[in-house]
Amino acid sequence: MSHRTFHHDRHELHGITVVVDTSGPEVWVGRCDDIDAESVILLDAAMHQDGEGGHSKTDWVKQAALYGVWKKHDRVQLPRAQVASVVRLCDVPTT
Protein backbone atom coordinates (compact mmCIF):
# COMPACT_ATOMS: atom_id res chain seq x y z
CA MET A 1 0.00 0.00 0.00
CA SER A 2 1.27 3.50 -0.79
CA HIS A 3 1.53 5.94 2.07
CA ARG A 4 2.15 8.92 -0.22
CA THR A 5 0.35 12.06 0.79
CA PHE A 6 -1.36 14.49 -1.54
CA HIS A 7 1.77 16.70 -1.53
CA HIS A 8 3.16 15.24 -4.74
CA ASP A 9 5.95 17.81 -4.99
CA ARG A 10 7.59 16.38 -1.88
CA HIS A 11 9.63 13.26 -1.16
CA GLU A 12 7.64 10.06 -0.72
CA LEU A 13 8.36 10.12 3.03
CA HIS A 14 6.74 13.54 3.42
CA GLY A 15 4.49 13.46 6.48
CA ILE A 16 5.94 10.20 7.79
CA THR A 17 7.78 9.89 11.10
CA VAL A 18 11.34 8.80 10.35
CA VAL A 19 14.61 7.96 12.05
CA VAL A 20 17.58 9.79 10.57
CA ASP A 21 20.87 8.27 11.64
CA THR A 22 23.99 10.29 11.02
CA SER A 23 27.57 9.32 10.46
CA GLY A 24 28.32 11.04 13.77
CA PRO A 25 26.99 10.44 17.28
CA GLU A 26 23.56 12.02 16.62
CA VAL A 27 20.37 10.28 15.67
CA TRP A 28 17.14 12.16 14.96
CA VAL A 29 13.46 11.28 14.98
CA GLY A 30 10.94 13.59 13.40
CA ARG A 31 8.26 14.00 10.78
CA CYS A 32 9.84 14.12 7.35
CA ASP A 33 9.02 17.30 5.47
CA ASP A 34 11.24 16.71 2.48
CA ILE A 35 14.42 15.03 1.29
CA ASP A 36 16.47 16.31 -1.61
CA ALA A 37 20.04 16.12 -2.82
CA GLU A 38 21.18 18.65 -0.26
CA SER A 39 19.33 17.90 2.93
CA VAL A 40 16.76 16.06 4.99
CA ILE A 41 14.19 18.37 6.56
CA LEU A 42 12.40 17.22 9.71
CA LEU A 43 9.52 18.82 11.60
CA ASP A 44 8.69 18.31 15.28
CA ALA A 45 12.01 16.55 15.80
CA ALA A 46 14.09 15.25 18.68
CA MET A 47 17.77 14.32 18.73
CA HIS A 48 19.79 11.88 20.80
CA GLN A 49 23.55 11.74 21.19
CA ASP A 50 24.98 8.24 21.42
CA GLY A 51 25.57 7.40 25.09
CA GLU A 52 23.58 10.38 26.42
CA GLY A 53 21.89 9.42 29.68
CA GLY A 54 23.50 5.98 29.38
CA HIS A 55 21.48 5.13 26.26
CA SER A 56 22.91 4.08 22.93
CA LYS A 57 21.41 5.31 19.69
CA THR A 58 19.75 1.92 19.24
CA ASP A 59 18.18 1.96 22.71
CA TRP A 60 16.83 5.47 22.22
CA VAL A 61 15.37 4.67 18.82
CA LYS A 62 13.68 1.54 20.24
CA GLN A 63 12.10 3.67 22.95
CA ALA A 64 10.99 6.15 20.30
CA ALA A 65 9.41 3.33 18.31
CA LEU A 66 7.40 2.30 21.37
CA TYR A 67 6.23 5.66 22.63
CA GLY A 68 7.22 8.43 20.21
CA VAL A 69 9.42 11.39 21.11
CA TRP A 70 9.03 14.70 22.90
CA LYS A 71 9.74 17.26 20.21
CA LYS A 72 12.64 19.62 20.86
CA HIS A 73 12.87 21.30 17.46
CA ASP A 74 10.07 22.65 15.27
CA ARG A 75 12.20 22.28 12.12
CA VAL A 76 15.70 21.00 11.41
CA GLN A 77 17.62 20.76 8.16
CA LEU A 78 20.24 18.00 8.17
CA PRO A 79 22.94 18.04 5.47
CA ARG A 80 22.72 14.90 3.32
CA ALA A 81 26.47 14.45 3.62
CA GLN A 82 26.01 13.71 7.33
CA VAL A 83 23.03 11.38 6.90
CA ALA A 84 23.81 7.68 7.07
CA SER A 85 20.24 6.37 6.78
CA VAL A 86 16.58 7.34 6.81
CA VAL A 87 14.02 4.74 7.87
CA ARG A 88 10.40 4.90 8.91
CA LEU A 89 10.00 4.77 12.70
CA CYS A 90 7.17 2.26 12.31
CA ASP A 91 9.67 -0.16 10.72
CA VAL A 92 11.99 -0.15 13.74
CA PRO A 93 11.74 -3.39 15.75
CA THR A 94 10.71 -2.76 19.35
CA THR A 95 11.85 -6.07 20.82
CA–CA distance, 60 with 32 (Å, rounded to integer):
19
CB nearer another protein, residue 40 or residue 65: 65
93 scored as a contact of another protein (CB under 8 A):
no
Considering only 10, 55, 62, 71, the residue that binds another protein (CB under 8 A) is 71
The nearer residue to another protein, 5 or 23, going by C-beta atoms, is 5
Q: Using the minimum distance from each CB to another protein, give the nearer residue, 84 or 90.
A: 90
Closest CA to 25 of 68, 60, 76: 60
Give how far Cα 37 sits from Cα of 14, 40, 56, 83, Å.
Answer: 15, 8, 29, 11
Q: Which residues bind another protein (CB under 8 A)?
A: 1, 3, 5-6, 15-17, 65, 67-71, 88-91
